[in-house]
Amino acid sequence: MPVSTVSALNAPTGFAGEAHTKFEQRTTGSTALLALGIVYGDLGTSPLYTLQTIVRIMGDQFTPEAAIGSLSLIFWSLIITISAKYCLFVMRADNHGEGGILALMTLTGARWYGRGRWLVIAGLFGAALIYGDGIITPAISVLSAVEGLNVATDIFKPYTMPIAVLILICLFAIQSRGTGTVGKAFGPIMMAWFVTMGVLGVRGIAHHPQVLEALNPVHAARLLATHGFIGFTVLGGIFLALTGGEALYADMGHIGRNPIRTAWYCVVLPALVLNYAGQVANFIVTPDLEANPFFKLAPDWAIYPLVALATLATIIASQAIITGSFSMTRQAMQLGWFPGVRISQTSAEEYGQIYVPFVNWTMMFFTVALTVGFGSSDRLAGAYGTAVSTTMVLTTVLLSQVMLHRWRWSIYQVVATTGVLLVVDLAFFSANLLKVFEGGWIPLTFGALVFVIMTTWHFGVEAVHRRNAARSQKPAEFFAGLHRDGIVRVAGTAVFLTRLVKSIPPLIVNYVKQGRSLQKNVIVLTVSFESVPRVRSKDRIRMERIDDSLWHVTLHFGFVEIPDIPSALSGAEKLGLPVVDKATYYIERNDLISRRHRNPVSRWRVTLFSFMFRNSAHAIDRFKIPANTLIEIGRRIEL
């Protein structure tokens, strides 16, 4: 498939009214099935370990009353956090159809240099934590899947970790086939999984129908009020039922919000509630503090096929966080917070379906390392939840600002709505802080590292742009200098690629200064990638004649198009552009160094940015410019 690269030349801007086809897409059976395969793996497999974790936390205190209270907490947490917060409110906020916390941050209107800098920090750190959670979710999901085989037999115990590593490598390897292909393959499996969970849940409820009393929130409040610190600690186990909730928003650009919502309300939520209720009912009838409550729901003859299906489902659970990381990366690049990396567009029609090789293989490396280092899901459990619970708090904070400043809600509406959400989020966040020393520091540390990279990249890009703007010239000043300094105008056409559109860029100024000459025809060229698959030929070129011998041209390309600049420019000749068949193309390559008077921290940031800048992908690499017509001009810039 075509490859899309966002570089310093220009970021995607999109044409009004054409970028929302995916976002506003109507729900069909196929799109809902796609949502099951891509989005709901993590949420859908939480019944495998959530109640089991709660039982282990409470021990002998897990009485029938405590079991009903735990079920009530799970049910109302799903209703408040997933059904209300994410499906109704958060997913209403999009950035040209894209979701995720960076989209939410953008909608607040906050700026790094200006109003609401703390909101930018919140959004960036929340996004960075998703990467931190992304390296641990596949590890614990796949390990728990493989360990599920031990329910049926002990044969696989010595091989649990190697099998998990092999499965993880295969999972990351198939990402290049695209989220659409992966989702179509995973969707039917997840549908079978949710139907199976629902049937097993009904079977358990039939043994003790009184379990449905848990729908009354009084039982949840009573558990927290009567069990003191244990009641607070158990919230860390309850939260496992919500992990994966952030993926609904992060993956919105891949699927569209309507299919995601429909799949939740019609399939996922009913199946989860029925299964949790069935587990609790079965436990009350036949209490067992050691056995896995999920597998106890199944008859003996169904254990082997259920373990196989659970293994497939927990592998799929990793998909949501992987695709969410892809979406987050492109958003960060477009907003100027992440170095340019190569992006494969895996769908010829849908902007959101992408594959990011660098992110994919980096996540695989760290995920495999965690799997080998910890070796079991029990040891990894302490690291699970700290990052995503922090992100959920930050999401609510940003949502309140969007409600207030963009949706124009009254302050009373905002406080009433986000107040409830924030109380729930902070309760889970506080409970998960207890896991920091058990391994929770791992995703937090990884997230902090990504945060440093994002802020350093933004710092460097802004510094380079300021330097370029300071060294640029107004057209009138530039042409006056040509006449004043006796610059020779030679035959030919020069095309200078730049992102500056209202001034003469330093690339041209320095070229004239050093060469003491300039071609008779000069084209200042900007390339723009749009949020639509293809750009109509009549919308391809935007041209402005600045002087008798200088033109500014903007070429627009769709996200699946492979730009052919010489061909596109030759089409502009009928609009009055000079003949470009023998044009020479010029681009600038900057060598970045730190000023000597900078402090050690600033010098370190410049060094890091310089390394990322040299190794980032550049859109020029895929513009089909003949090598014998391309000249790179180097320039050293002190930051």
Residue-wise pLDDT for 335-386, tens only, equals 788 888 888 777 665 556 778 889 999 999 999 999 998 887 767 777 778 8
188-192, 205-209, 236-240, 528-532 — which is least confidently predicted?
528-532
Sign of CA dihedral 171, 177, 179, 180: negative
Round to whole Å and give the CA distance between 208 and 217. 19
Q: Encode burial over 416-453: b for 16+ CB neighbours within 10 A, e otherwise.
A: ebbeebbebbebbbebbebbeeebbebbbebbeebbeb
Question: In Å, how far are 253, 401, 428, 574 from 109, measured between CA atoms?
Answer: 20, 9, 28, 41
Provide mean pLDDT across the span 550-571. Answer: 83
- Is 541:26 a contact under the CB 8 Å cutoff? no
Domain 3-10+30-460, CATH homologous superfamily name and number = Amino acid/polyamine transporter I (1.20.1740.10)
Q: Range(s) for CATH 1.20.1740.10 in the chain?
A: 3-10+30-460
Average pLDDT, the chain: 84
For tokens 């933004």, name the residue: 458
For tokens 């990396």, name the residue: 341
pLDDT score, position 20 = 40
457-497 pLDDT, tens per residue? 988 888 888 888 888 888 888 888 888 888 899 999 999 99
Task: Report the amino acid identity of residue 579.
Answer: V
- Is 96:531 a contact under the CB 8 Å cutoff? yes
Spatial neighbors of 330 by CB under 8 A, at least 6 apart, are: 6, 98, 343, 354, 356
Round to whole Å and give the CA distance between 168 and 137. 11
C-alpha dihedral (69, 71, 74, 75), degrees to nearest 10? -110
pLDDT score, position 9 = 39
Round to whole Å and give the CA distance between 637 and 590. 7
pLDDT score, position 264 = 94
Token pair recorded at residue 561 = 């198009």
> Within a 10 A sphere around the Cβ of 311, how many other Cβ atoms?
19
pLDDT score, position 15 = 37
219-258 pLDDT, tens per residue? 999 999 999 899 999 998 899 899 888 878 877 876 788 8
- Is 7:617 a contact under the CB 8 Å cutoff? yes
> Within a 10 A sphere around the Cβ of 234, how many other Cβ atoms?
25
Round to whole Å and give the CA distance between 485 and 487. 6
- Is 339:6 a contact under the CB 8 Å cutoff? no
The helix/strand/coil state of 11 is coil
